[in-house]
Amino acid sequence: MLKPAFQKDEALLATIEAARSLPDALQIWWLGQSGFLLQYNGNHLLFDPYLSDSLSRKYADTDKPHVRISEIAIEPSQLTMIDVVTSSHNHTDHLDAETLLPLMAANPDLQFVIPEANRTFIADRLKTAPPAPLA
């Protein structure tokens, strides 16, 4: 497992908050695995967040155990500033209910940018009604 020299937990939150004072600067943080947080002009976009160990638990007693490539950077419920989440595809390490459900609870106005073909799949994974398509 990678233990990169990146910020975690409260240090990461402090850096994100401090960067809000740089309105015209694009800020990008790697959150581990394929997840990235982008901040620009006070808006926060989260790409492919996987901030749990759901796959490690799911495949622990199989012949193909899942091993994270990096530590978990932060608990998803601590990210209370997220505006938009996107998932590139339906693999759990890009569309993880154990990450997305706490994010949704912490960010009531959270919006998803998802492929139209995945709308029903994502709603099922998150145990919610499919969101209306954007006009």
Instruction: Give the pTM.
Output: 0.85
Max mean pLDDT among 6-15, 62-71, 115-124 falls in 6-15
**Residue 34: predicted pLDDT:** 87
**Residue 54: predicted pLDDT:** 82
**Residue 128: predicted pLDDT:** 83
Provide the edge-to-edge strand list for the sheet that holds 111-113. Answer: 27-32, 35-40, 43-47, 84-86, 111-113
Distances (CA, A) of 106 to 65, 102, 110: 30, 6, 9
Residues 9-119: name the CATH superfamily: Ribonuclease Z/Hydroxyacylglutathione hydrolase-like (3.60.15.10)
- What's the mean pLDDT in 69-77? 91
pLDDT tens string 36-56: 999 999 899 999 999 998 877
Better-predicted residue by pLDDT, 92 or 2: 92
pLDDT at 133 over 70: no
Better-predicted residue by pLDDT, 79 or 24: 79
Coil vs helix vs strand at 132: coil
